[in-house]
Structure 1
Amino acid sequence: MAGDVAVRRPDHVVVETASGVGYRLAVSSETLRHVPAIGRPVSLHAHLIVRDDALALFGFHAEEERDLFLLLIGVQGVGPKVAQAVLGGGTPRELVAAIAAGDAARFQAVPGIGKRIAERIVVELREKVGGADWGADAGGGTIEVHRGDDPRLLARDGLVELGWSLAEAEDLLRHAEGETAEELLAHALRGAHR
């Protein structure tokens, strides 16, 4: 869908086409980052969901984001609003890497997703995203993840177990140095007490 941005809100945009018709598209915070100011031209990939009581139009900055949205809404218990919230948690490449790594904690941090749904997302989508090339939005390349041996993931999970939120744990590990999960965890904890 192409046109000019008529309205720009945290959860949706209105795109006015050349014919003068405005279309309201629900967008993730990730897509919203790429939507220009009101009055500027924009082009979004769109997907229409038809329900008995409504027609809902969703807009996506990248085709990969739309593809991931379609996979997410195919997971039992994940509706369009929850899928949009998941997409707001990073680029499609980052989210696919989290799925491939079995990082259910990343999805649990999304409002509206509990442990069960987060684990279901990882289990149901791991095979589906494994062979796809999700690199177009982040400079290309395939995602290589070795489940269970990522020291940063292990250190982050350790910090969460110690009581930090997922965001706080990731922030503490941002500048942590070390080769093993134990070294990263120790460095992060030293930084937390400064």
Structure 2
Amino acid sequence: MSAVASYVDEMLKVSEWTSNFRVLNALLATPASRTMHIVQRTWDPPVPPFRFAASGISLYFVCSSLSGLGDQSFAAAIAQPVLFTIFSLLFLAITYKIFRDVSKAPRTYEEFLVLAAIVNGVYGYLTAGVALLSFLNVEWGVIGLAAMSVYMCAYTLRAYKEFWGMSYKNIIVYSLLASVGIFIALGVVLAIFMVLIANTG
């Protein structure tokens, strides 16, 4: 419990946010190579990847909730991070298993989690910006979403290429395969959930 409290305390510090924004600014210029520096622990000063991810994703949920405050219920706002967490856990487990089996690069699960944390952190910060744009002007939000989607696709492909040492073609093929596996896993989880509800009813 004390570890969680310490983690939250660090997240609430202004210095933590300014440090994360400096990292984000550096990543946006050359994201893939600098992401690998973080994975390989060669970034100076060291970047705490999971705090970076948590701050970006938290900012996204806050901004998206504020921008859509009149369009969604409180329950829907709470459900978003829960569903995101479930999907992320399934995605990480299935994606790592598939790529580890076909890649010649000796990557550990810890290294993959660091990679995923940085990519998700960048995604969180950028989508938070898109949510704010949408709040100010819907058209700006649409343009921002399109630009962010293109950027994140290019960033993720490049980062995966450097991390796994594979071609873009193979990255795309195995990513699609992982997506199929994720949807199957989600279907199984949903089916179990529905059975449990039916039995309790």
Bin for the TM-score computed over the shorter chain: under 0.3
Greater relative contact order, per chain length (Cα 8 Å cut-off, separation 6+): 2
Normalising by structure 1, report the TM-score. Answer: 0.27
Whichever structure has more strand as a proportion of its residues is 1
Normalising by structure 2, report the TM-score. Answer: 0.26
